[in-house]
Structure 1
Amino acid sequence: MARKMLIDGELDKTSEQEIHYDFDLFVIGAGSGGVRASRFSAQNGAKVGICELPFHPISSEEVGGVGGTCVIRGCVPKKILVYGASFGPELEDARNYGWEVNERIDFNWKKLLHKKTEEIVRLNGVYKRLLANAGVKLFEGEGKVVGPNEVELIQLDGTKISYSAKHILIATGSRAQRPGIPGQELAITSDEALSLEELPKRAIVYGGGYIAVEFASIWRGMGAIVDLCFRKELPLRGFDDEMRAVVARNLEGRGVNLHPRTSVTELVKTENGIKVRTDHGEELIADVVLLATGRAPNTKRLNLESVGVELDKKTGAVKVDAYSRTNLPSIWAIGDVTNRMNLTPVALMEGTCFAKTVFGGQPTKPDHDNVPCAVFCIPPLSVVGLSEEQAIEQANGDVLVFTSTFNPMKNTVSGRQEKTIMKLIVDAETDKVLGASMCGPDAPEIMQGIAIAIKCGATKEQFDSTVGIHPSAAEEFVTMRSVTRRVSAGKPKNNL
């Protein structure tokens, strides 16, 4: 296949030469982004090959699996565990709704683990069928780039075979990183946390991001004693400060022990468990220590720099332009490996745009503005658009902040002391809604609809003119009439 492609008004000159290649496209990495890009490219007439390591719930240099991090050792299994962890508190709440619940509530971790593994095995098979049905050739093994148009595949038996490709797409995602602290080998990462043979009775989580907060919620919901250590004043750096405070309050309310402004300095194995020392002189003991201090792009074994592909010196991420193209015209990259916006739906979008650009005759840039996301703590946080701090920093004029804090209707009977908070950020001059946040039950389900409105440029007046669904929490987004505060642009951000 040789198609001429127009990008920013210029002819892609690499398309002009008629050269025979084994594939029009070869994709390294069969996670969400890689599978999407390969399928859609094949549907546009391209001959596509894709490689991925053999399946295993816990990734390494030798194993991975079609479906990638999200499906096998990320979003999907995590959400299953969140559901499982939510039932314990729900059963407690049920008593005030008239349900006679026995005093003893048993939880079978191994049963849930088995069900979780069954589901990810099923999804692994689904993704393989999606590739096959699209006519994509799947290879099992490790892929490396050995030239601008050549990929080397190291097969399971160690043999190597090379394939030529007009275009190469890197979609290898990211991997959990371990901080360089003494004893870090005694700890686990999120990969292992999703496949523990035994549920820990005592767990220490080190990190303040969404993975740390989610696992603290999961294990606490299943009855474990959980300590959460993080370096800032509040968890979830980068999110709206007011919502961060709500999440911290909810974690404490559900029994998680918070250790703000705390760094872990050493892990020591003892007869009673793993001893964790902090920079405050604390010594904590746990059965399991989870290191959730960040992830890094999976580029180390791809041989990219040797063939001239530019990587970010600090993170190792593949540098790409607005169309996901590297400095070499034939090599592209999408998803977490580019470290742009590390969310599965974003990788899917980037994969779709890639296929349109290269094989669909429609040059399309991924749009990273107003991307909604969620933190699946219990209860969850979900946001779209600008936080209050970001809006103040970026706005030309004043910013109007609308908030609503209330007891969810369910809690008024159950007696649970946990409030829902919603927030809208509005440009005072244009009346445009710049951002929305919610922490409370069903927040991600509600925020998906709000994201459509904000993506369409909705104004506060249009929110106000929308009739709410009653009784629901969602209706609060269209009934917030009173300004909570008006803030002038340029006010320094409180970096908690």
Structure 2
Amino acid sequence: MTDDANYDYDLFVIGAGSGGVRASRVAASHGARVAVAEEFRVGGTCVIRGCVPKKLLVYGSHFAEELQDAANYGWTVENTKFDWPTLRDAVLRDVDRLNAAYTSTLETHKVERFLERAVVTGPHSVRLASGREITAKHILVSTGAWPVMPEFEGAEHCITSNEVFHLEKFPRRVVISGAGYIAMEFAGIFNALGSHVTVVNRSETILRSYDEALRDRLLQITMARGIQYRFNCPFEKVVKRDDGLLEVWLKGQIDPILADQVLIATGRRPKTDGLGLETAGVKLGQSGEILVDDHAQTSCPSISAVGDVTNRVQLTPVAIREGQAFADRVFGGKHVTIDYSCIPSAVFSQPPLAGVGPTEGQARNKYGSIKVYSSDFRPMKNIFGHRPERGLYKMIVDAATDRVLAIHMIGPEAPEILQAAAIAVKAGLTKADFDATVALHPSMAEELVLMK
């Protein structure tokens, strides 16, 4: 491509998360002069304060039940104890490793980095925190999302998913506000590691976007594991006592809940505050999200946005694909768009659940006549355990064509199994195709081809 000498850069990226780093790297590989600004650490939410460190905590917490079950498999395990600083510090070291790896990727592709905040000052200009003004032919905003902290008395005593990875001490009692995927994942982590966990939710539903049967099964299992729930209970206030304990007062409740930590996990909002987008006429939605078209372009032709800041699909692989597509379109001359259908997702709760395609209710509304197949089974892994927990797999099929519309599952390793199954759903395979596939026995995954 030909450099445009009228600008300092061909592309300036604000935010070095998954989408921003991918867009920067790919644009540079196409010959663009690229710079990226990041006010915290390279890697973004997923790598620094999200799915990667959280998944490592999930792995660490799994040892609690594995050690408990070991005796039934003939192992003698004595004097076991859990040390939070050891796990916490190991996770943070891996975050450092990934931060270095992402930084190295930018260096390798000769992307200039500014480790400071940048704000938009016009259609082709940004200003760094140091005061430097920079011009660019194209600006890409990929600043992600930020935890929502509701307004209530004592909110300053609470933490969000940003701070939870840095706790000095492991809390014996935890109150979690919210019942989305972040709340349910941390509820499982703290519960498995020995905390008394109470989940408080404004409504009576957990994991609203997931299939109802899976939600009900997860609720039953987690309650049996000792997690307590308070539904239809908004926060009224949080009071910090002289001894350091927190009193969580809920509306309509007579007595407070005592906690060592209160985690607010009530969602994430696009991080657009103070970015100066109004100076370029960039339109925002009701939640502060940047409104974009199918090509990631905003209402200002020279400014685009990818990832969570657009509030379309808040998933790391989607941000990466959007960043790649943007760079290939603008700097590689390729005509590519993103297909948002059949995106698989998972909740790393304990046990985990995963799904691809519409829920049963959504499928009935859209297709009318559907068939639902299921398998309700006790995973072999649990046979020698102390938990009579059962897995549940569901397959939703278009009655008119026999095409598999969706698969939903809860049980050990559900996300690992669903990734392969999602390929089949995306490819438009039929229930007959699943039935014709020989089962891999003994496995949990074989239930996919045995559903009735």
Q: Which TM-score tier does this pair reach, normalised by the shorter chain?
A: over 0.9
Q: Alignment partner of 2:171: what SS?
A: coil
- How far off is 1:415 after superposition? 3.6
| Residues 1:435 and 2:406 aligned together | yes
Aligned 1:20-419 pairs, distance under 5 A:
20-53=6-39, 64-102=40-78, 104-154=79-129, 159-272=130-243, 273-281=245-253, 282-312=255-285, 314-395=286-367, 397-419=368-390
* Deviation string, structure 1 residues 133-189 (Cα, Å, up to 9, x no partner): 1121111111111111111111xxxx3111111110000000001111111111100
Matched pairs, number: 450
Report the TM-score, using the length of structure 1 for normalisation.
0.89
Q: Alignment partner of 1:160: what SS?
A: coil
Could you tell me which amino acid in structure 1 is paired with residue 280 of structure 2?
A: V
Contact residue 228 and residue 257 of structure 1 kept, 8 A:
yes
- How far off is 1:262 after superposition? 2.2
Contact residue 124 and residue 302 of structure 2 kept, 8 A:
yes
Q: Alignment partner of 2:121: what SS?
A: strand
Question: Bigger shift: 357-366 or 32-41?
Answer: 357-366
For 1:463 and 1:231, how far apart are their aligned partners in 2? 40
Contact residue 233 and residue 260 of structure 1 kept, 8 A:
yes
- How far off is 1:279 after superposition? 2.1
- How far off is 1:468 after superposition? 1.9
* Deviation string, structure 1 residues 399-419 (Cα, Å, up to 9, x no partner): 111111111001112242111
Could you tell me which amino acid in structure 1 is paired with residue 60 of structure 2?
A: G
Contact residue 95 and residue 414 of structure 1 kept, 8 A:
no
Contact residue 96 and residue 415 of structure 1 kept, 8 A:
no
For 1:263 and 1:393, how far apart are their aligned partners in 2? 31
Q: Alignment partner of 2:425: what SS?
A: helix
* Deviation string, structure 1 residues 55-101 (Cα, Å, up to 9, x no partner): xxxxxxxxx21001100000011011111111111111111111112
- How far off is 1:233 after superposition? 2.2
- Root mean square deviation of aligned Cα: 1.3
For 2:277 and 2:449, how far apart are their aligned partners in 1? 50
Q: Alignment partner of 2:166: what SS?
A: coil
- How far off is 1:19 after superposition? 5.8
Contact residue 57 and residue 189 of structure 2 kept, 8 A:
yes
Report the TM-score, using the length of structure 2 for normalisation.
0.97
Partner of 1:12: none
- How far off is 1:2 after superposition? 4.8
For 1:179 and 1:145, how far apart are their aligned partners in 2? 27
| Residues 1:468 and 2:443 aligned together | no
For 1:48 and 1:457, how far apart are their aligned partners in 2? 39
For 1:227 and 1:319, how far apart are their aligned partners in 2? 37
Structure 1, unpaired ranges of 5+: 4-17, 54-63, 483-496
Structure 2, unpaired ranges of 5+: none
Contact residue 280 and residue 300 of structure 2 kept, 8 A:
no
- How far off is 1:307 after superposition? 1.9
Q: Alignment partner of 1:379: what SS?
A: coil
Could you tell me which amino acid in structure 2 is paired with residue 66 of structure 1?
A: V
* Deviation string, structure 1 residues 219-267 (Cα, Å, up to 9, x no partner): 1111011101112323101111111111111211211112222222211
Q: Please list every run of at least 4 consecutive aligned residues from structure 1 whose deviation after the TM superposition is greater than 6 angstroms.
A: none
For 2:397 and 2:166, how far apart are their aligned partners in 1? 43
